[in-house]
């Protein structure tokens, strides 16, 4: 059975004045895969995923999700349709507790499935929020004010919020930044588990993490796709080595 394409872009571009941050990108990701997006600083990775999530508008090109054109849809509509994006810079609510952060995301997911005018089931909300915190290892810190967490734990809370949204596509932007070696190891196990129920797009500088997790890797350079392939193919690609892996 052929794999289903969950998200596809055609000719996707974003220009900031004369800067071509993303230029004519054709990209697709298949349902259930872990796809890594790598490239040197300034390659356009965060701009690209910001276009996918609706945080910034496209200059030209199209984006389709689950077979529907979402190019003009705002970010909140894309969240409702199943795209969750954890930012490179943490986007938690620092004055709320860890639990309250997860509960807000869980509430959004319940409203999406049951309708925004429906009454929220408190037990379901509580179960979903706590389950997300359990998955990332923050259940014991659920009463802590989020702004008092370490940076690494704030990143994990952001992942929990993404999970509480019950996404079809989870975009993780530099998720291991600020994590200890032990936390990174646990995170890799978490991503493999997430991929059983959701598609994952991973933007990551930690190459051992990328090579361990990714089914396929796409390399972005100067706003354009340089190449895509399996971890083995990317590791052996001389062009990639010169542009990125070799420090060029």
Give residue 113's pLDDT. Answer: 61
CA distance 224 to 221: 5
| In the chain, ranges of CATH 3.40.50.300 domains | 5-82+167-245
The radius of gyration of the chain from alpha carbons, rounded to an integer in Å, stands at 18
Give residue 110's pLDDT. Answer: 81
Phi, psi dihedrals of residue 21, rounded to the nearest 5°: -65, -40
Fold of 5-82+167-245: Rossmann fold (3.40.50)
Residues of the chain with pLDDT under 50: 1, 116-117, 247-248
Give residue 245's pLDDT. Answer: 59
Helix ranges restricted to H, 137-244: 151-164, 181-194, 207-213, 231-236, 238-240
CA distance 202 to 196: 15
Give residue 120's pLDDT. Answer: 67
| pLDDT tens per residue across span 199-245 | 999 999 899 999 999 999 999 999 999 999 999 999 999 888 777 65
Give residue 93's pLDDT. Answer: 92
Cα→Cα distances 173→31, 102, 242, Å: 19, 18, 23
CA distance 111 to 65: 20
User: How much is the pTM?
Assistant: 0.87
175, 147 Cβ separation under 8 angstroms: no
């Amino acid at each position: 059975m052929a794999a289903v394409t969950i998200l596809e872009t055609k000719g996707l571009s974003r220009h900031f004045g004369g800067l071509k941050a993303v230029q004519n990108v054709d990209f697709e990701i298949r349902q259930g895969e872990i796809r890594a997006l790598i490239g040197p600083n300034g390659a356009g990775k965060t701009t690209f995923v910001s276009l996918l999530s609706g945080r910034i508008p496209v200059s030209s090109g199209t984006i389709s999700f689950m077979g529907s054109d979402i190019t003009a849809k705002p970010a909140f509509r894309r969240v409702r349709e199943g795209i969750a994006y954890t930012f490179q810079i943490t986007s938690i609510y620092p004055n709320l507790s860890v639990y309250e952060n997860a509960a807000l995301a869980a509430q959004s997911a319940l409203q999406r499935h049951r309708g925004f005018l429906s009454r929220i089931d408190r037990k379901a909300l509580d179960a979903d929020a706590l389950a997300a915190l359990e998955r990332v290892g923050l259940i014991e810190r659920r009463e802590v004010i989020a702004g008092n967490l370490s940076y690494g734990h704030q990143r994990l809370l952001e992942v929990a919020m993404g999970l509480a949204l019950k996404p079809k596509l989870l975009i993780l932007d530099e998720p291991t930044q600020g994590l200890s070696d032990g936390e990174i190891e646990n995170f890799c196990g978490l991503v493999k588990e997430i991929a059983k129920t959701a598609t994952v797009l991973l933007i990551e500088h930690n190459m051992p993490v990328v090579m361990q997790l990714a089914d396929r890797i796409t390399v972005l350079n100067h706003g354009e796709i340089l190449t895509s392939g399996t971890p083995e193919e990317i590791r052996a690609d001389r062009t990639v080595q010169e542009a990125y892996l070799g420090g060029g």
